[in-house]
Structure 1
Amino acid sequence: MVLGVREQLTEAIRLRLRADVPVGIYLSGGIDSSLVAGIVTHLVREEGARLGNQDATSRICCFSIEFPGQGSYDESDVAERTANWLGVQILKKRMDEATLADNFADSVWHCEHHNMNLNSVGKFVLSTLPREHGFKVVLTGEGSDEHFAGYPWLIGEFLREPDPAMPGTELARDAALRDSLRERGRREFMAMVQRERSLGSRNPTNPEAFRAVNEVRMLGLTQAFLPPPALWSSWVREAWAGADPVMAQTAEMPEEAKQKMRETWHPLHTAQYLWSRSLLANMLLTCLGDRTEMAHSIEARPPFLDHVLSEYANGLPPSVKLAYTPERENEARSGGLPWENGNVLADLFTEKWILREAGKPFITQELYERKKQPYVAPNRWPKDGPLDKKMREICTREAVERLGFVDYEHVKAAMDTAFGDDADRGSFRLLLAVAAWVTISERFGVRRAEPSDQARGGNTDGGLGGQA
Structure 2
Amino acid sequence: MTDTERQEAHALASKEAQYGIFGDFTPKVPISTERMFYSSHVTSSIARVGSLPFSDWTKVYGNSIPETTMIEGFDGRVRDNILKRWHPVHTAQYMFVKTFMPHFILRYNGDNIDMVHQVESRCPFLDHHLTEYVNNVPPSLKMRYNAKDKSWREKHILREAVKPFVTDEVYNMSKKAYMGPRKFWPGGPLHKKISELVTKANVENLGFVDWQATQDAMDGAFNKQEGLALRRIITVAQFVVLGQRFGVKRASGRS
Compute the TM-score of the two structures, normalised by the length of structure 1.
Answer: 0.49
Aligned AA (1:447): V
Name 1:261's counterpart in structure 2. 82
CA shift at 1:410, angstroms?
Answer: 1.6
1:380 has 2:183 as partner: yes
Q: Deviations over 1:137-157 (max 9, x none)?
A: xxxxxxxxxxxxxxxxxxxxx
Name 1:350's counterpart in structure 2. 153
Q: Deviations over 1:34-89 (max 9, x none)?
A: xxxxxxxxxxxxxxxxxxxxxxxxxxxxxxxxxxxxxxxxxxxxxxxxxxxxxxxx
Is the Cα–Cα contact under 8 Å of residues 206 and 246 in structure 1 kept in the other structure? Answer: no
Q: Deviations over 1:65-122 (max 9, x none)?
A: xxxxxxxxxxxxxxxxxxxxxxxxxxxxxxxxxxxxxxxxxxxxxxxxxxxxxxxxxx
CA shift at 1:277, angstroms?
Answer: 1.1
Name 2:144's counterpart in structure 1. 323
Q: Structure 1 unaligned segments of length 5 or more: list them.
A: 1-170, 330-344, 456-468
CA shift at 1:352, angstroms?
Answer: 0.5
Name 1:212's counterpart in structure 2. 36
Equivalent residues in 2 for 1:104-183, closer than 5 Å: 171=1, 174-183=2-11
1:187 has 2:15 as partner: yes
1:429 has 2:231 as partner: yes
Structure 2: distance between partners of 1:309 and 1:224: 30
Aligned AA (1:187): K
1:445 has 2:246 as partner: yes
Structure 2: distance between partners of 1:236 and 1:392: 25
Is the Cα–Cα contact under 8 Å of residues 233 and 405 in structure 1 kept in the other structure? Answer: yes
Fraction of identical pairs, as percent:
29
Name 2:55's counterpart in structure 1. 233
Give RMSD over aligned pairs.
2.8
Count of aligned pairs between the two proteins:
255
CA shift at 1:400, angstroms?
Answer: 1.6
CA shift at 1:263, angstroms?
Answer: 1.6
Name 1:63's counterpart in structure 2. none
Equivalent residues in 2 for 1:9-48, closer than 5 Å: none
Q: Deviations over 1:423-447 (max 9, x none)?
A: 44443332222122222333x3241
CA shift at 1:450, angstroms?
Answer: 2.0
Q: Deviations over 1:142-200 (max 9, x none)?
A: xxxxxxxxxxxxxxxxxxxxxxxxxxxxx1xx11111112222333443x46xx87252
Please give the secondary structure, in 2, of the residue aligned with 1:184: helix
Please give the secondary structure, in 1, of the residue aligned with 2:125: helix
Name 2:130's counterpart in structure 1. 309
Structure 1: distance between partners of 2:63 and 2:91: 27
Please give the secondary structure, in 1, of the residue aligned with 2:239: helix
Structure 2: distance between partners of 1:383 and 1:314: 44
CA separation of 1:178 and 1:201: change in aligned 2, threshold 3 A: closer
Please give the secondary structure, in 2, of the residue aligned with 1:253: coil
CA separation of 1:224 and 1:203: change in aligned 2, threshold 3 A: farther
Aligned AA (1:205): P
Is the Cα–Cα contact under 8 Å of residues 202 and 224 in structure 1 kept in the other structure? Answer: no
Structure 2: distance between partners of 1:311 and 1:375: 23
1:409 to 212, 235, 244: 212
CA separation of 1:448 and 1:362: change in aligned 2, threshold 3 A: farther
Structure 1: distance between partners of 2:191 and 2:125: 37
Is the Cα–Cα contact under 8 Å of residues 47 and 70 in structure 2 kept in the other structure? Answer: no
Aligned AA (2:35): R
CA separation of 1:220 and 1:385: change in aligned 2, threshold 3 A: closer
Please give the secondary structure, in 2, of the residue aligned with 1:438: helix
Shifted more, 270-279 versus 289-298: the winner is 289-298
Please give the secondary structure, in 1, of the residue aligned with 2:195: helix
Larger radius of gyration: 1
CA shift at 1:201, angstroms?
Answer: 7.3
Aligned AA (2:25): G
Q: Deviations over 1:191-217 (max 9, x none)?
A: x46xx872527533250x433333433
Q: Deviations over 1:10-46 (max 9, x none)?
A: xxxxxxxxxxxxxxxxxxxxxxxxxxxxxxxxxxxxx
Aligned AA (1:175): D
Structure 2: distance between partners of 1:352 and 1:221: 20
Structure 1 stretches of 4+ moved >6 Å:
none
Is the Cα–Cα contact under 8 Å of residues 202 and 223 in structure 1 kept in the other structure? Answer: no
Is the Cα–Cα contact under 8 Å of residues 38 and 82 in structure 2 kept in the other structure? Answer: yes
